[in-house]
Amino acid sequence: MVRAAVLSAPGERLRLAELELPEPGPGQVRVQIAATGVCHSDLSLARGTLRAPMPVVLGHESAGTVVSVGADVTSCAPGDRVVLCWAPPCGACWFCAEDEPWLCEHASDAAAAPYAMVDGVEVYPGLSTGGFAEQTVVSARAVVRVPDAVPLEHAALVGCAVMTGVGAVLNTAKVRAGQSVLVVGLGGVGLSVVQGARLAGAGQVVVVDRSPDKLELARTMGATDVLEAGGELAKQVRALTGRRGADHAFDCVGLAETIRACWSATRRGGTTTIVGIGGKEQQVSFTALELFHFARTVQGCVYGSTDPLRDIPTILDHAAAGRLDLGALITGTVGLDGIDGAFEAMEAGQGVRTVVLP
């Protein structure tokens, strides 16, 4: 039996419970969780804006130590320090064969099947991970080794926010040295975009948020210009970029208003990358003439267009070498009983990343 924070239905509070977790089967590993970041997708799942089968153990930004492995697993061994990937590609479907493993048809398969029991009831692993617990059982394809130089609390964030944000810059947008970058929304993903832009050698990095604290934090991570949300963004950005607009914009909010503002703030031929997860009710509109005239690109970005087995080790190397400051993203730690409080702080726009230490 291991302790876990269980959500029974959207809108309810999490409940601490004893999880009956089976031993890992073929192709699976059991991991002792050291740290799990509280991500905005967990909040959306808890509030019902995103859907998942229930009851569920949320938490999908985790790192820990392998406890045991299934019979046929050779890629890792007990004692290995690992980060968990919530969208492990199968390596065999059409998208994987096209070298687009972030769109793998089977990346979410594990989330759709019960993996443990609580009080005689089947429980699902949130986003295939189940990170808000002392231990979990995941696919062996979902674990990536962590170098000794990177603390597991930091490595955990690579599993979602950092891989998404840095991947958006390097893989999806392919920002080149010297280019100008606009980042709207400075949560864990947005600040990872800022750090990714620094890594790519971007010239100007303009950031926008409502929180003066987050704007200041962004400065320490490579932002060159900070703008408090609410102004006329396109005008402000043009004034900072030789009247042209930014080469790249990253929307890390997911609202029609911020996506449209990002698009308008890019130069002719510029690119807007949509990283934030928006709602079905958000309608973004463009005129046919402006789509033609400005020759701008709008592109979606799923999981930072990441090939996890290739990209997560690279990100961890950057962290080990000090080129990414993962510790600066962590603004608080809680136990398994503190997750609801972390959700409330997130809704109030406070802090960047709370890390759960089960």
The contact set with Zn ion (CB under 5 A) reads: 39, 41, 89-90, 93, 96, 104, 160
Q: Which is nearer to Zn ion, 29 or 96 (CB)?
A: 96
Residue 105 CB, shortest distance to Zn ion, in Å, is: 5
Q: How far is CA 105 from CA 92, 93, 242, 301, 338, in A?
A: 9, 7, 43, 16, 34
Gap between the Cα atoms of 225 and 282, Å rounded: 28
Residue 184 CB, shortest distance to Zn ion, in Å, is: 18
Gap between the Cα atoms of 62 and 231, Å rounded: 37
What is the DSSP annotation of 57-99?
Answer: E---SEEEEEEEE-TT--S--TT-EEEE-SS---SSSHHHHTT
Please choose, from the candidates 106, 102, 76, the residue with its C-alpha nearest in 3D space to the C-alpha of residue 92. 106
Q: Which is nearer to Zn ion, 77 or 92 (CB)?
A: 92
Q: Which is nearer to Zn ion, 34 or 233 (CB)?
A: 34
Residue 77 CB, shortest distance to Zn ion, in Å, is: 25
Q: Which amino acid is located at 166 in the chain?
A: V
Q: Which is nearer to Zn ion, 95 or 294 (CB)?
A: 95
User: Facing residues of 16 across strands?
Assistant: 5
Q: Which is nearer to Zn ion, 162 or 261 (CB)?
A: 162
Residue 41 CB, shortest distance to Zn ion, in Å, is: 4
Residue 60 CB, shortest distance to Zn ion, in Å, is: 6
Q: Which is nearer to Zn ion, 160 or 205 (CB)?
A: 160
How many CA within 13 A on the CB side of residue 186? Answer: 31
Strands of the sheet containing 121-125, edge to edge, are 56-57, 121-125, 116-118
Phi, psi (rounded to 5 degrees) for 12 = -85, 170
Gap between the Cα atoms of 26 and 49, Å rounded: 34
Residue 163 CB, shortest distance to Zn ion, in Å, is: 9
